[in-house]
Structure 1
Amino acid sequence: MATITVSAPGKVLLAGGYLVLDRAYQGLVFGLDARIYICVQAATNSETDSNSRKIIVRSPQFEKAHWVYSYVPAKDGVRITQSHESESDTRNPFVETTLVYVLTYLFHLSIDLVGDLNITILADDDYYSHTKSSTKGSFSKFGVTLANAHKTGLGSSAALVTSITAALLGAFVPHAANSEFSSHQHVIHNLAQAAHCAAQGKVGSGFDVAAAVYGSCLYRRFTPSLLEHVGDAGSDGFGERLHRCVENLDPHRPWDVEVLKQAVQIPRSLRLVLCDVDCGSQTPGMVKKVLAWRKERPEEADLLWSALQQGTEDLCAELKRLAQLEAIEEIKRENLRDTISTIRSLIREMSNKSGVPIEPPSQTELLDACCTVPGVVGGVVPGAGGYDAVVLLVEDNEKALVDLQNLLDKWKSTTESGSGIAKGRVSLLGVKQDVQGIKMEPAGTFVGWI
Structure 2
Amino acid sequence: MAEFNIANLKEASLAMAVVASAPGKVLMTGGYLILERPNAGVVLSTNARFYAIVKPLYEEMKPDSWAWAWTDVRLTSPQLSRESMYKLSLKNLMLQCVSSRQVLFESRNPFVEQAVPYAIAAAHALFDKDKKDALHKLLLQGLDITILGCNDFYSYRNQIEARGLPLTPESLAALPPFTSITFNAEEENGQNCKPEVAKTGLGSSAAMTTAVIAALLHYLGVVDLSPLSKNEGSADLDVVHIIAQTAHCIAQGKIGSGFDVSSAVYGSHRYVRFSPDDALNGTPLQEVMAAILKGKWDHERTKFSLPPSMNLVSILTYTIDVSLHLLGEPGTGGSSTPSMVGAVKRWQKSDPAKAQETWRKLSEANSKLEIQFNILSKLAEENWNAYKCVLDICSKQRSPTAVILQSCSRNSVKDSYTSFILFVDNDVQAANYFVYAVKWIEQSTEPSEEAVVKALLGARSAMVEIRNLMRQMGEAAGVPVVLTSYSDFTNVLCYNRTANVFFSFGYSPERYIDLPAMPCNGLTLYGFCKLNIEPESQTRLLDATMDMEGVLLAGVPGAGGFDAVFAVTLGDSGSNVTKAWSSLNVLALLVREDPHGVSLETGDPITKEITAAVSAVHIE
Structure 1 length as normaliser, TM-score?
Answer: 0.87
- 1:114-263 alignment runs, 5 A limit: 114-130=140-156, 131=159, 139-144=177-182, 147-173=195-221, 176-180=224-228, 182-231=234-283, 235=284, 238-248=285-295, 254-261=296-303
CA distance in 1, matches of 2:100, 2:373: 52
Partner residue in 2 for 1:265: 305
The answer on whether the counterparts of 2:20 and 2:53 sit within 8 Å (CA) in structure 1 is yes
- 1:204-353 alignment runs, 5 A limit: 204-231=256-283, 235=284, 238-248=285-295, 254-261=296-303, 264-278=304-318, 279=328, 280-284=332-336, 285-326=339-380, 327-329=384-386, 330=390, 331-332=452-453, 333-353=456-476
CA distance in 2, matches of 1:402, 1:257: 37
2:605 pairs with one of 438, 445, 448: 445
CA distance in 2, matches of 1:339, 1:442: 41
Deviation string, structure 1 residues 139-168 (Cα, Å, up to 9, x no partner) = 232242584431111001000000111100
CA distance in 1, matches of 2:223, 2:312: 35
CA distance in 1, matches of 2:590, 2:49: 12
Partner letter of residue 142 of structure 1?
Answer: S
CA distance in 2, matches of 1:217, 1:53: 39
Report the identity percentage: 32
Partner letter of residue 292 of structure 2?
Answer: C
CA distance in 2, matches of 1:99, 1:175: 15
Identify if the C-alpha distance between structure 1 residues 395 and 229 changes in structure 2 by more than 3 Å, giving closer, same or farther. same
CA distance in 1, matches of 2:286, 2:299: 22
Larger relative CO (CA 8 A, sep 6+): 1 or 2? 1
Partner letter of residue 379 of structure 1?
Answer: A
Shift in Å, 1:446: 5.7
Partner residue in 2 for 1:41: 55
CA distance in 2, matches of 1:59, 1:84: 14
CA distance in 1, matches of 2:60, 2:289: 35
Partner residue in 2 for 1:14: 28
The answer on whether the counterparts of 1:36 and 1:123 sit within 8 Å (CA) in structure 2 is yes
Partner letter of residue 188 of structure 1?
Answer: V
Shift in Å, 1:349: 1.1
What secondary structure, in the 3-state scheme, does the structure 2 residue paired with 1:61 have?
helix
RMSD: 2.5
CA distance in 2, matches of 1:433, 1:17: 18
- The structure with the larger Rg is 2
Partner letter of residue 289 of structure 1?
Answer: A
What secondary structure, in the 3-state scheme, does the structure 1 residue paired with 2:348 have?
helix
Shift in Å, 1:89: 2.3
- After TM superposition, the structure 1 stretch with the greater mean CA deviation from structure 2, 402-411 or 333-342, is 402-411
Partner residue in 1 for 2:617: none
Partner residue in 1 for 2:559: 384
The answer on whether the counterparts of 1:124 and 1:139 sit within 8 Å (CA) in structure 2 is yes
The answer on whether the counterparts of 1:29 and 1:218 sit within 8 Å (CA) in structure 2 is yes
Partner letter of residue 596 of structure 2?
Answer: Q
CA distance in 1, matches of 2:63, 2:84: 19
Partner residue in 2 for 1:415: none
Shift in Å, 1:42: 1.0
Unaligned segments of structure 1, at least 5 residues: 249-253, 412-424
CA distance in 1, matches of 2:367, 2:198: 33
Deviation string, structure 1 residues 168-216 (Cα, Å, up to 9, x no partner) = 0000116532412833111110110000011111000000000000000
CA distance in 2, matches of 1:447, 1:404: 28
- 1:63-74 alignment runs, 5 A limit: 63=81, 65-74=82-91
CA distance in 1, matches of 2:577, 2:335: 27
2:547 pairs with one of 368, 372, 378: 372
What secondary structure, in the 3-state scheme, does the structure 2 residue paired with 1:226 have?
helix
Identify if the C-alpha distance between structure 1 residues 107 and 36 changes in structure 2 by more than 3 Å, giving closer, same or farther. same
Partner residue in 1 for 2:432: none
CA distance in 2, matches of 1:363, 1:135: 25
Partner residue in 2 for 1:98: 115
Shift in Å, 1:303: 1.1
Deviation string, structure 1 residues 104-163 (Cα, Å, up to 9, x no partner) = 222344332322111111111111111379999972322425844311110010000001
What secondary structure, in the 3-state scheme, does the structure 1 residue paired with 2:78 have?
coil
Partner residue in 1 for 2:499: none
Partner residue in 2 for 1:421: none
Structure 2 length as normaliser, TM-score?
Answer: 0.64
Unaligned segments of structure 2, at least 5 residues: 1-14, 164-171, 184-193, 319-327, 391-451, 479-530, 610-620
CA distance in 2, matches of 1:239, 1:314: 45
Identify if the C-alpha distance between structure 1 residues 18 and 49 changes in structure 2 by more than 3 Å, giving closer, same or farther. farther
What secondary structure, in the 3-state scheme, does the structure 2 residue paired with 1:193 have?
helix
Partner letter of residue 444 of structure 1?
Answer: D
1:59 pairs with one of 65, 77, 100: 77
Deviation string, structure 1 residues 317-367 (Cα, Å, up to 9, x no partner) = 111111221314133222221111111111111111111211111111110
What secondary structure, in the 3-state scheme, does the structure 2 residue paired with 1:115 have?
coil
Partner letter of residue 17 of structure 1?
Answer: G
1:83 pairs with one of 95, 98, 122: 98
Shift in Å, 1:29: 0.5
Shift in Å, 1:307: 1.2
What secondary structure, in the 3-state scheme, does the structure 1 residue paired with 2:562 have?
coil
Q: How many residues align?
A: 419
Identify if the C-alpha distance between structure 1 residues 374 and 446 changes in structure 2 by more than 3 Å, giving closer, same or farther. closer
